[in-house]
């Protein structure tokens, strides 16, 4: 659920945005205020800490632009105002969108989509930075081993087990390919065969249906995985724009 807070010194504008929030699946209204100082206290408290703040720009005591500069980076700011001249200042405060009144429900939904996309991207990045390794059970009873993602060359299926090939040697553990695949960063590890997952950072070359790794090991590229694999690789392929 994406939590929202509305601050505007005009009650009818709060009512409009509150109605939009309440009728939109996935959004939750956690507070409103006509006084920006009251809003600042609520927004920065641990009890509220909304994901999105819809803020008017031209308010007494504290402008919406000033307010945006005082809240934490967790909260995304969407300005809602009758004055388009403040747009530059708004985006300098890293506002994600700028709604000009009167605000239609369609335009509101476009703004919400932008915010959700940014929140999702930030969450994925944070997860990838945090999760630099996993622990797996080894073949030795009672022993678990840390496996760093950047050490993995490829993963190989072995009936009821998988073997994780790393720069520090292979690690065999009782997991399925699906289970180990779900534990690896999807932007870095590619399923290339029913029996193989490859670390894209370790690919040295691709020749036909063969993937050659930095270790000089060769991995088969399965026909049913080829299209998705090549799409991922082509995203980094540099091709001349000149005519041949």
Supply the Cα-derived Rg of the chain in whole angstroms.
Answer: 25
* Architecture of the domain delimited by 133-234: Beta Barrel (2.40)
Query: Given this model, what pLDDT does residue 89 score?
Result: 64
Fold classified for 2-129 = Rossmann fold (3.40.50)
pLDDT at 217: 95
Beta bridge partners of 78: 54, 97
Q: What is the pLDDT of residues 91-109, one digit of tens each?
A: 565 678 888 899 999 999 9
**Predicted local distance difference test score (pLDDT) of residue 94:** 64
| Pairing assessment for the beta strands 27-33 and 2-7 based on DSSP bridges | parallel
Q: Is the pLDDT of residue 218 over 90?
A: yes
Confidence band of 64 (pLDDT split at 50, 70, 90):
confident
d(CA 233, CA 228): 9
> Model pTM?
0.52
Domain ranges of the chain: 2-129, 133-234
Report pLDDT for 244: 57
**For residue 125, what pLDDT is reported?**
52
Percentage of the chain exceeding pLDDT 90 = 53
Tell me which residue has tokens 């720069």: 167
Supply 67's token pair.
């307010």
DSSP letter for 98, please. Answer: E
Taking a C-beta distance cutoff of 8 angstroms, is the pair 53, 95 a contact? no
Sheet architecture: strand order including 76-81? 27-33, 2-7, 52-55, 76-81, 97-100
DSSP-derived 3-state class of residue 44? coil
């Amino acid at each position: 659920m994406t939590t929202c807070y509305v601050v505007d010194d005009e009650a009818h504008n709060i009512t409009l945005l509150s109605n939009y929030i309440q009728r939109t699946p996935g959004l939750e209204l956690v507070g409103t205020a006509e006084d920006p100082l009251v809003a600042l206290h609520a927004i920065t408290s641990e009890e509220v800490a909304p994901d999105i703040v819809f803020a008017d720009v031209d308010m007494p005591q504290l402008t919406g632009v000033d307010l945006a500069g005082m809240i934490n980076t967790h909260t995304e700011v969407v300005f809602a105002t009758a004055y388009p001249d403040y747009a530059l200042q708004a985006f300098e405060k890293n506002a994600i969108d700028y709604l000009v009144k009167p605000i239609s429900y369609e335009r509101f939904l476009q703004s919400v989509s932008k915010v959700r996309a940014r929140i999702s991207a930030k969450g994925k990045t944070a997860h990838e930075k945090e999760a630099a390794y996993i622990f797996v059970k080894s073949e030795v009873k009672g022993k678990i081993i840390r496996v760093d993602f950047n050490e993995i060359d490829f993963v190989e299926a072995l009936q009821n087990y998988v073997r994780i090939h790393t720069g520090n040697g292979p690690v065999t553990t009782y997991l399925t390919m699906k289970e180990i695949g779900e534990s690896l960063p999807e932007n870095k590890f590619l399923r290339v065969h029913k029996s193989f997952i490859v670390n894209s950072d370790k690919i040295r070359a691709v020749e036909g249906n063969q993937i050659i790794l930095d270790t000089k090991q060769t991995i088969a590229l399965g026909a049913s995985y080829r299209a998705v694999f090549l799409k991922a690789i082509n995203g980094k392929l540099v091709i001349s724009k000149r005519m041949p």
